Amino acid sequence: MDVPIQADVECRDGHCGQSTRIIFKPDTDEITHIVVRQGGIFGEERIVPLEYVTETTPKTIRLRAGKEELEKFPPFLETDYVPVDAVDPTTLWPDAEGIGTYPMPISRENIPGDELSLFKGMAVEATDGRVGRVDEFLLDPANNQISHVVMREGHLWGAKDVVIPVTQIQRIDEDAVYLTLSKHEVEELPGKSLREE
């Protein structure tokens, strides 16, 4: 299954947003959720369990939820407001003179500590340096585990898709996908896409 990032998301009752991230559990290589942004670039992002995805294409994700139901999913970012000490000038925000200080907003991802949010554009690192950026992740529909990483625009070999099997991934963290391959070995990988267009 192709789980596109930055794809249109369609609810049962019409267009409801755009996918911005997928939530990944590194110890099982499983994708557990997608993140859907509602209402344009500054809209709120919601965490949607993967079981709500009924169909995907390279440009669209269809959900079995309606727009109203989507509103009930938890937000991706949670903001806490931390009180500041008016005596400490380094914590005075936004007014350095201390007049009208406000609690400082601190945002964090609303996901379990053992999961990561993955996004389009993450770095892909070979054993000898950066080789490109993630375009999307392909999943095995039988177990929702990542089967391949697709690297597209911005990599060293032009416009072809480079499809990297999960067996060649050493690890994934919040910033990058690390491969067990060198740049030369990545260049030798087949350039055909495994996705159904």
pLDDT, one tens digit for every residue, the chain (197 residues): 788 899 999 999 999 999 999 999 998 889 999 999 998 777 899 999 999 999 999 899 999 999 999 999 999 998 888 776 544 555 555 555 555 566 777 888 888 889 999 999 899 999 999 988 898 889 998 899 999 998 875 545 556 678 899 999 999 998 899 999 999 998 888 765 444 44
pTM: 0.79
For residue 91, give its domain range. Answer: 80-107
Q: For residue 155, give the nearest of 192, 117, 175, 126 by alpha carbon.
A: 126
Q: Do 180 and 150 fall into the same domain?
A: yes
CATH number at residue 132: 2.30.30.240
Asked, for residue 112, whether it belongs to a domain, the answer is no
Are residues 44 and 53 in contact, defined by beta-carbon separation less than 8 angstroms?
no
Measured distance CA(111)–CA(76) in Å, rounded? 7
Q: For residue 120, give the nearest of 27, 13, 34 by alpha carbon.
A: 34
